[in-house]
A = this chain, B = another copy of it.
Amino acid sequence: MLDIASKIEEGAITFLKAEYLYLSIFVIVLAIFIFFFVEPVFGTFYTTLAFLVGGFTSILCGYIGMRVAVHTNVRVTKLCTTDIASGFVIAFRGGEVLGFILVGIAILVFIILIEASMAVYAPKTLADYTAFFDLMAGYGLGGSFVALFGRVGGGIYTKAADVGSDLAGKVVEGLPEDSPKNPGVVADNVGDNVGDIAGMGADLFGSLAESTTAALVVGGYSAELIGGGASMYFPLLITSSGIIVSFLTQFVATNMMKATYENVESVLKWQLIISTVLMTAAIIPICLYVLPESFTYGNLNTTVTTNWDAFGCICVGLWAGLIIGWITEVYTSNTYSPVRELTDSCRLGAAPNIILGLALGYMSTVVPIVCIAVTIYLSFHWAYMYGIALAALGMLSTLPIALSIDGYGPIADNAGGIAEMTGLDPSVRRNTDKLDAAGNTTAAIGKGFAIGSACLVALALFGAFVAKTGQTTVNILAPLQFAGLILGAMIPYAFSALTMSAVGDAAQDMIKEIQRQFSDPEIKAGTKDPDYETCIAISTKASLKKMAAPGLLIILTPIVIGLLFGPNAVAGLLAGEIASGVQIAFSFSNTGGAWDNCKKYIEAGNDDTEGQAFAKHTPAHQAAVVGDTVGDPLKDTSGPSINIVMKLSSILSLVFGNFFRDYHLLSS
């Protein structure tokens, strides 16, 4: 067990080191670009500083998360040899370390950055504060910039390994999942840590940094918020109180509810409900005692917001998050009819499974989008763009718990992989599989949260961008804006195409390598250890090489359009990207989740809706495996990266806004 665990650890560390080396270079290049092009517009250096701090903090968070995960996985396997409850507690605590550290560091570093910069900048008037918080937007940009490459690179890594080893090992050779005979199996387990842990950590770090940024930038126009001392820090206080609420909540999970084989999933889900309820109560005193009774937004907008309006915005975001999570579960868990019907269709072959799976994902966008539309309408109505940022912060306020659950999943998955690879008793694998299955459902819920919050964050940043560039309205009935809108709506498609074909191509390389190794009869018979390292190297190389094109697409599009046509065209572009991106993100994530659970349901030998039992190695099972494999890049590479696409484009435009306004080449 220690041997396998150290192989996974080494693989993860090697990949992240290589990735972070590339990333550090990218961060420094963009920092130089910002310093020479954006800062001269302001006449300062704070945006560059904030960008560097944000970028490297994000790297640090991803790295810590990965280290904790590879430290915990083998311990969970060990504990599952005795009982599932202690295995669950340790896996969950591993996730908690990620969740609490990430949110804690994000807040702490940001406060230090603000206080230190403010000491030098010394803002006095409202205009000073407005300008100052504008400069701090770099922090969010740094976080999201790293997150993009982390998510894309990690996503390509994990799915190239997963798809490749599934196709070559499971489908062709008939090996079980995580069989040690499969040369790609270690790469697959490494992938869980670098993609699902480090990548997702960076993603949500970015969301938190950016929604805080957006709230600070819009709040920076309000004399009442700036003048009242603590109220300036109101956005950070929401997150901070979320840490305390999450701490109380996790106590229930790990100390008061005992996980058994049956209730693992419900223990996790209760976490989300308890934290949402507690959080609703916790924000009342902060709204009442920290915020002024009412406030306005200077020359930005005439809306008057009361502290109860602000409470409403946070609440609507918080509860919309819970509803989105719940509906995600309905569409992806095999206890409800959508996945059950999808599973039935596998009896008729792979094609009906794919058709109905895609349809399921498209349909699953309806309720979340209605929730988001209502959230946008209400929070905008109550508190203008500040309200959107508050709604995003509300949705993210229970982040330590959400991240704990998200982190728990890959740890449990890895624990199962280690159990299988080391040939432990099937009862151990049964325990780890149960932990893993619970993690899969809650991971889908977590993705729902992440997408919903990303959409709100992107919108809040869009609002901040528009405010900053002095556009009072964004009229889509103008040529530049409408052309931008339709072009922006295309970006998530082009991005998905690039990431999906990256996974497809890398998986093909992986399959060829595994087939090459299987041509050695000793490896095929299992008497000789396969060469795991070559497979790890293939995934590493492919992901580092293939993350450049989608990354550059996202970064260069707003910059090129902004430089050519100015902020009006960029405003259209952003609106299009958000409106179309959020649909793709939800549908990809839910389609993939549904296919995954559909396959698991068949593998567990459950009955179809007409009462006939499914079995492994039947045509229905093969059809389900095709769906699961197609779903892998959708749910773990392209889908989650779209979150970052929306956010990054918006914050990039925010940071470069004045530059676009003053220096674009063509007039409208």
Where chain A touches its partner, the secondary structure class is helix
Interface core residue of A348, A352, A377, A477 (most chain B CB under 10 Å): A477
* Chain A 174-217 interface mask (CB, 8 Å, partner B; 1/0): 00000000000000000000000000000000000000000000
Residues 554-588 of A at the B interface (beta carbon under 8 Å): 575-576, 578-580, 582-583, 587
Q: Which of B350, B362, B486 lies in contact with A626, CB distance below 8 A?
A: B350
Cβ–Cβ < 8 Å partners of A493 in chain B: 362-363, 365-366, 583, 587
Given A475-B475, A504-B355, A575-B476, A487 and B362 touching (CB < 8 A)? no
Q: Does A272 contact B (CB under 8 A)?
A: no
Q: Which of B377, B476, B490, B625 lies in contact with A480, CB distance below 8 A?
A: B377
Cα(A338)–Cα(B473), bound, Å: 42
What are 12 A-B pairs at a CB distance below 8 A? A350-B626, A354-B354, A362-B493, A363-B501, A373-B487, A380-B479, A455-B486, A471-B477, A473-B475, A486-B578, A486-B579, A579-B580
List the interface of chain A (C-beta within 8 A of B).
Answer: 163, 167, 171, 345, 348-352, 354-356, 358-363, 365-366, 369-370, 372-374, 376-377, 380-381, 455, 459, 463, 466, 471, 473-480, 482-490, 493-494, 496-498, 500-501, 503-504, 507-508, 511, 575-576, 578-580, 582-583, 587, 625-626, 629-630, 633
Given A476-B575, A477-B473, A494-B362, A633 and B355 touching (CB < 8 A)? yes
A348 touches B494 (CB 8 A): no
Cα(A576)–Cα(B489), bound, Å: 9
Q: Which of B167, B366, B459, B486 lies in contact with A376, CB distance below 8 A?
A: B486
Whole-angstrom distance between the Cβ of A643 and the nearest chain B Cβ: 15
Cα(A376)–Cα(B497), bound, Å: 25
Q: Specify the chain B residue showing the minimal Cβ separation from A364.
A: B497
Cβ–Cβ < 8 Å partners of A376 in chain B: 479, 482-483, 486
Q: Specify the chain B residue showing the minimal Cβ separation from A503.
A: B355
B490 touches A366 (CB 8 A): yes
Q: Specify the chain B residue showing the minimal Cβ separation from A373.
A: B483
B501 touches A359 (CB 8 A): yes
Cβ–Cβ < 8 Å partners of A356 in chain B: 500-501, 504
Cβ–Cβ < 8 Å partners of A377 in chain B: 479-480, 483
B351 touches A630 (CB 8 A): yes
A494 touches B355 (CB 8 A): no
With contacts A369-B490, A380-B479 known, what are 5 further pairs, Cβ within 8 A? A354-B626, A358-B630, A380-B482, A489-B583, A490-B583
Cα(A532)–Cα(B28), bound, Å: 69
Given A366-B494, A369-B486, A630 and B380 touching (CB < 8 A)? no
Q: Which of B167, B354, B381, B484 lies in contact with A352, CB distance below 8 A?
A: B167
B348 touches A508 (CB 8 A): yes
Whole-angstrom distance between the Cβ of A158 and the nearest chain B Cβ: 15
- The 3 A-B pairs with the shortest beta carbon distances in the complex, nearest first, are A380-B479, A351-B629, A363-B497
Given A350-B626, A583-B489, A359 and B497 touching (CB < 8 A)? yes
B500 touches A355 (CB 8 A): yes
Cα(A494)–Cα(B362), bound, Å: 6
A359 touches B483 (CB 8 A): no
Cβ–Cβ < 8 Å partners of A488 in chain B: 579
Cβ–Cβ < 8 Å partners of A466 in chain B: 477
Cβ–Cβ < 8 Å partners of A354 in chain B: 354, 626, 630
Given A475-B474, A504-B352, A504-B355, A489 and B489 touching (CB < 8 A)? yes
Cβ–Cβ < 8 Å partners of A478 in chain B: 380, 473
Whole-angstrom distance between the Cβ of A553 and the nearest chain B Cβ: 10
Given A349-B171, A370-B487, A490-B366, A355 and B630 touching (CB < 8 A)? yes
Whole-angstrom distance between the Cβ of A460 and the nearest chain B Cβ: 11
A365 touches B485 (CB 8 A): no
Cα(A474)–Cα(B354), bound, Å: 39
A167 touches B365 (CB 8 A): no
Whole-angstrom distance between the Cβ of A610 and the nearest chain B Cβ: 12
Cα(A377)–Cα(B666), bound, Å: 13
Q: Specify the chain B residue showing the minimal Cβ separation from A368.
A: B490
Whole-angstrom distance between the Cβ of A126 and the nearest chain B Cβ: 22
A369 touches B582 (CB 8 A): no
Interface core residue of A497, A504, A582 (most chain B CB under 10 Å): A504
Cβ–Cβ < 8 Å partners of A355 in chain B: 163, 500-501, 503-504, 629-630, 633
Cβ–Cβ < 8 Å partners of A575 in chain B: 476, 482, 485
A497 touches B360 (CB 8 A): yes
